[in-house]
Amino acid sequence: VTRARIYLDHNASAPLRAEALDAMLRVLRDVPGNPSSVHAEGERAREALAQARERVAALLGAQPDEIVFTSGATEANNAVFASLASGSAPAAIATSAVEHPSVEQPLGRLEKRGWRVARHPVTCEGELDAREFLASLCADVQLVSLIAANNETGVLFPIAAIADGLRERGIALHLVATQWIGKLPLDARKLSVDSLACSAHKLGGPKGVGCLFVRRGVAFEPALLGGSQERRRRAGTENLAGIAGFGAACEAAQQSLAAESQRVAALRDRLWRGLRERVPGVLRNGGAQNVLPNTLNAAFPAARGELLLQALDLDGVAVSAGAACASGSLAPSPVLLAMGLGAERAAESLRFSLGPATTADEIERVLALVPPIVARVRASGATR
């Protein structure tokens, strides 16, 4: 009998929610028009777009007109830095040492163009101290960009305290909330962030769609020029089916948010307790307190993460060693290195990320599989 696979890589991409699939199929089948067209077909497409925008805005604590649909969080992040650079002479940007490549790479380009980028260090638990961070900001900082919840460790940054401090000083704040949205509540207006990036496929929507929240009144220079879609903030005919799926996924996530985050946190904690009992020497990467409910990053000393990942994959369990976008490369995770954990420990680490479909039975099966795999990889001596 072949057993169903166990998918513990939701931070790379979450399975499509049934509600999202239904909404997408409905649009693909029944909505032929362009949302910019005047006729009845156009009107129906416009309605689908508006409904999705309301659903996404509701989950983010935003007004619908503050949502700009994009191809994902990568595009949303790039758009923010492009907008900043087009409206200002080179100045300074402050960020952390554990950002996603879709922030790190555009910042690298700005540095080549004369901008200064201050990358604030994190503790060995991956945390950022809000007071220290605020105190470190130079007078010419125009924008602070921070990853709200880390994709690799799940560690949460103190975004409310930082937002408060920045508001007092009139410095703009961009949040990368890709991993946060759909897993924990967030209210973009209450936080008074200026912009925020988010992605549909991390919360059970389709891949290739996401959004940029831009608070009302915040200056924004579009990266894509052309038609007047998205209130002239992102030209091009909308990915309507994807957007409808995104909206449906947001609504579904919002309805179950509180109960689901508790349920998943209990499963994640069970996984960690079980690993600690059964795998000698296992270490948790990142603190246990300020962390996403679904994420566990752990190091298995003297066992290479890639070998563990491959063995688990053969046994039907999908996990990750480092972030998905970095897979295929043998380089140790820059996030774990920035936490000061060292290249060896970084190469011996796995990320388990749970989701709505994860069951207690799956966690028990993983707990039965991991210890003998670790023992086997350790015995093979292939640590490098």
Q: Confirm whether 325 is a catalytic residue.
A: yes
The single residue among 17, 46, 55, 100 that binds ligand PLP, judged by CB under 6 A, is 100
72 lies in the binding site for ligand PLP (CB under 6 A): yes
Among residues 313, 312, 319, 329, which one has the least CA distance to residue 371? 312
Q: Using alpha carbons, list the distances in angstroms from residue 166 to 80, 127, 136, 158.
A: 17, 18, 12, 12
Give yes or no for a contact between 382 and 304, defined as CB atoms under 8 angstroms apart. Answer: yes
Q: Is 355 a binder of ligand PLP (CB under 6 A)?
A: no
Q: How far is the CB of 329 from ligand PLP (least distance, A)?
A: 15
CB 98, min distance to ligand PLP, A: 10
Cβ proximity to ligand PLP: between 122 and 373 the closer is 122
**Site stretch for ligand PLP (CB under 6 A), options 121-129, 176-184, 211-219, 224-232:** 176-184
Site for ligand PLP in 179-208 (CB under 6 A): 179, 199
* Contact call for residue 151 and ligand PLP (CB under 6 A): yes
Residues with Cβ within 8 Å of residue 149, at least 6 apart in sequence? 155, 156, 157, 177, 178, 179, 180, 183, 184, 292
Least distance in angstroms from the C-beta of 74 to ligand PLP: 3
Binding-site size for ligand PLP (CB under 6 A) equals 13
The reply to whether 174 sits near ligand PLP by the rule CB under 6 A is no
State the pairing for strand pair 141-147/92-96: parallel
Exactly one of 20, 27, 52, 73 binds ligand PLP (CB under 6 A); that residue is 73
Measured in residues, the chain has a length of 384
Q: By Cβ distance, which residue is nearest to ligand PLP?
A: 72
Considering only residues 232-271, where is the footprint of ligand PLP by CB under 6 A? none
Q: Find the part of the chain contacting ligand PLP (CB under 6 A) among 36-44, 128-136, 174-182, 349-357.
A: 174-182
How many Å is the Cα radius of gyration of the chain?
21
Q: Is 353 in the site for ligand PLP (CB under 6 A)?
A: no
How far is C-alpha 56 from the geometric centre of its chain's CA atoms?
16
What residue type is 194 in one-letter code? D
Residue 104, sorted as left (phi over 0), alpha (psi -120 to 50) or beta, turns out to be alpha
Considering only residues 35, 206, 210, 247, which one is a binding residue for ligand PLP as defined by CB under 6 A? 210
CB closer to ligand PLP out of 21 and 326: 326
Nearest-angstrom CA–CA distance, 383 and 361: 31
Strand partners, 212: 68, 197
Q: Contact between 74 and ligand PLP (CB under 6 A)?
A: yes
Q: Using CB under 6 A, which of the segments 71-79, 158-166, 186-194, 218-226 binds ligand PLP? A: 71-79
Tell me how far apart the alpha carbons of residues 370 and 278 are, in angstroms, rounded to a whole number: 9
| Cα(46)–Cα(378) distance, integer angstroms | 58
d(CA 287, CA 153): 9
Binding site for ligand PLP (CB under 6 A): 72-74, 100, 102, 147, 151, 176, 178-179, 199, 210, 325
List active site positions: 325
